[in-house]
């Protein structure tokens, strides 16, 4: 029932809360975790423009180059989570996709034939959270799988 | 993490699908299930009027009498589920509340300090499903707990 878990991760605090629940699910029949980070096509340019300090984007860097660099950076950020889950005995696959988050998540659910999706649900205190919140709501509404929704305010006890 | 499970149940096929997941969660640290059936105040009169055959409502039966009778009938319908979960080793509490479903579910979540809510989510093919769907969406949006949403189309494998 929880054999193959899809974990869409945006590296937020809420996503790391969701990760704690995935680790806990290892006690059932969980075997495999698909880590999925989706880079929204339309935000890549924004990131390239505004996160200059962080990504050291020069004005000469093309959008394609920025995209590639951001992709590599995200793959690197997934690695410690892959290691952590593998140590617990999970089989782990990490995927970084470029696209529209809801669509990519639903496509991977189908392609990987996952048993359950575990997703963090943000509050809506700022624009980013408003955006992320709508991703989790869209996944909940349109997924064919069971979805475990972990809230920002959830106490992990 | 899944110690105390709240299970709002409307006796639909989707709710019974959600029940299968609860049984599965026994393999983790789950100890207790709160079964909660909410009778919407405003639908009691409708039930009394339209489900005449099923409930054998005579026109002389008062709303209060119909309410009491429906409540007893719902408690009886919970009993086999209580028995089934107890056999699996769960501590079980069954509650039938009259009120507005979302509000009642959120109030019980808080009162019982549950760890996780497991809820069936209907499609929206007819008016009842439209109504029930909005209950699960309201709970997901406003709950402070993690919520496991089991879809009508979920394959229990």
Q: Evaluate whether residue B66 is within a structural domain.
A: no
- Which residues, at least 6 apart from B53, have a Cβ–Cβ distance to it below 8 Å? none
On whether any CB of chain A is under 8 Å from the CB of B88, the answer is: no
Mutate to test the interface with B, among A117, A146, A157 (most CBs of B within 10 A): A146
pLDDT at A66 over 80: no
Q: Evaluate whether residue B70 is within a structural domain.
A: no
What is the total residue count of chain B?
Answer: 157
Cross-chain Cβ contact B27/A28 below 8 Å = yes
Helix (H) or strand (E) holding B140: helix B127-142
The CA-atom distances, in angstroms, between A128 and each of A132, A134, A145, B16, B115 are 6, 10, 26, 36, 27
Q: Evaluate whether residue A124 is within a structural domain.
A: yes
pLDDT at B70 over 90: no
Per-residue pLDDT, A78: 96
Q: Which domain holds residue A92?
A: 4-151
Taking Cα atoms as reference points, which of A31, A36, A32, A1 lies closest to residue A15? A36
Give me the CATH number covering residue B18: 3.40.50.620
Mean pLDDT of chain B: 84
Taking Cα atoms as reference points, which of A42, A38, A70 lies closest to residue A56? A70
Q: Report phi then psi at A98, rounded to 5.
A: -105, 130
Q: Evaluate whether residue A157 is within a structural domain.
A: no
The CA-atom distances, in angstroms, between B60 and each of A39, A61, B48, B73 are 64, 80, 11, 19
Q: Which three-class secondary structure state does DSSP give residue A33? A: strand
**Number of Cβ atoms within 10 Å of the Cβ of A98:** 14
Residue B120 is given by DSSP the state E
Taking Cα atoms as reference points, which of B146, B93, B74 lies closest to residue B115? B146
* Chain A residues close to B121, C-beta within 8 Å: 140
Query: A111 or A121: whose pLDDT is higher?
Result: A111
Half-sphere exposure of A123 (CA within 13 A, CB side): 9
On whether any CB of chain B is under 8 Å from the CB of A58, the answer is: no
Per-residue pLDDT, A122: 76
Cross-chain Cβ contact B140/A140 below 8 Å = yes
The structure tokens listed for B64 are 């209060």
Minimum CA–CA partner of B14 in chain A: A146
A136 with A122: CB under 8 angstroms? Answer: yes
**Domain count of the fold of chain A:** 1
pLDDT at B57 over 80: no
B63 with B35: CB under 8 angstroms? Answer: no
Question: What is the SS3 string spanning B38-73?
Answer: EEEHHHHHHHHHHCHHHHCCCCCCCHHHHHHHHHHH
Q: Model confidence over B9-39: pLDDT tens digits? A: 999 889 999 999 999 999 888 999 999 999 8
Q: Evaluate whether residue B130 is within a structural domain.
A: yes
Per-residue pLDDT, B40: 81
Round to the nearest angstrom and report the end-to-end CA distance of chain B.
23
Q: Evaluate whether residue A39 is within a structural domain.
A: yes
* Chain B residues close to A156, C-beta within 8 Å: 1
* Chain B residues close to A151, C-beta within 8 Å: 143-147
Cross-chain Cβ contact B146/A21 below 8 Å = yes
Predicted TM-score (pTM) of the model is: 0.85
Q: Model confidence over A132-142: pLDDT tens digits? A: 567 888 898 88
Taking Cα atoms as reference points, which of A59, A38, A41 lies closest to residue A107? A38
Q: How far apart are CA A49 and CA A51, in angstroms?
A: 6
Q: Evaluate whether residue B62 is within a structural domain.
A: no
On whether any CB of chain B is under 8 Å from the CB of A14, the answer is: no
B13 with B36: CB under 8 angstroms? Answer: no
Per-residue pLDDT, B18: 95
On whether any CB of chain A is under 8 Å from the CB of B151, the answer is: yes
Distance (Å) from the C-alpha of residue B124 to the closest C-alpha of chain A? 11
Burial bucket for residue B146 (CB in 10 Å: 0-12, 13-18, 19+): buried
Interface predicted TM-score (ipTM) of this complex, two decimals: 0.82
On whether any CB of chain B is under 8 Å from the CB of A110, the answer is: no
Q: How far apart are CA A43 and CA A132, in angstroms?
A: 13
Q: Evaluate whether residue B65 is within a structural domain.
A: no
């Amino acid at each position: 029932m929880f054999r193959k878990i899809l974990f869409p991760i945006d590296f937020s605090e809420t996503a790391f809360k969701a990760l704690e629940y995935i680790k806990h699910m290892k006690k059932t029949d969980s075997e495999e975790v698909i880590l999925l980070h989706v880079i929204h096509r339309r935000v890549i340019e924004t990131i390239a423009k505004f996160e200059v300090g962080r990504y050291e984007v020069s004005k000469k860097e093309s959008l394609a180059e920025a995209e590639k660099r951001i992709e590599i950076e995200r793959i690197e950020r997934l690695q410690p989570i892959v290691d952590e889950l593998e140590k617990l005995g999970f089989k782990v696959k990490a995927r970084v996709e470029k696209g529209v988050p809801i669509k990519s998540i639903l496509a991977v659910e189908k392609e990987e034939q996952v048993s359950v999706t575990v997703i963090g649900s943000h509050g809506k205190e700022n624009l980013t959270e408003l955006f992320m919140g709508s991703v989790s709501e869209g996944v909940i509404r349109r997924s064919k799988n069971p979805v475990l929704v972990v809230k920002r305010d959830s106490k992990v006890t």
